[in-house]
């Protein structure tokens, strides 16, 4: 499994690919910031405990307010642009 981290100005979004297989779908997960955070920085780094929601979601992946799946056909139609907004926001 590979992971590409896209770090826009306001959101931390992960996209997931399966290594060694042709890509059929790409999962995106928008990591929510902890209360009081607007972004991560050197003085406010991300902590391993903050990945609890992603770990719980991983083995039973379903779309929700933080996670969405995009087909390779949609990616191709978009010119392979992975800047895909969260459809639930």
Which residues are within 8 A (CB) of 25 and not within 5 positions of it... i.e. 6 or more apart?
Answer: 69, 70, 71, 72
DSSP per residue, 30-64: EEPPPTT-SS--SSS---GGGGHHHHHHHTT----
Q: Given this model, what pLDDT does residue 42 score?
A: 81
Q: Given this model, what pLDDT does residue 11 score?
A: 63
Q: Given this model, what pLDDT does residue 9 score?
A: 46
Q: What is the pTM of this model?
A: 0.78
Which residues are within 8 A (CB) of 68 and not within 5 positions of it... i.e. 6 or more apart?
Answer: 27, 28, 84, 86, 87, 88
Q: What stretches in the chain show pLDDT beneath 50?
A: 4, 6, 8-9
């Amino acid at each position: 499994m590979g992971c590409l981290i896209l770090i826009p100005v306001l959101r931390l979004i992960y996209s997931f690919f399966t290594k060694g297989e042709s890509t059929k779908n790409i999962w995106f997960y928008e990591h929510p910031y902890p209360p009081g955070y607007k972004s991560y920085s050197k003085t406010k780094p991300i902590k391993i405990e903050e990945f609890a929601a992603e770990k719980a979601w991983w083995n039973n992946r379903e779309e929700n307010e933080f996670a969405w799946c995009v087909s390779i056909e949609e990616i191709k139609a978009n010119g392979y642009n992975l800047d895909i907004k969260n459809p639930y926001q």
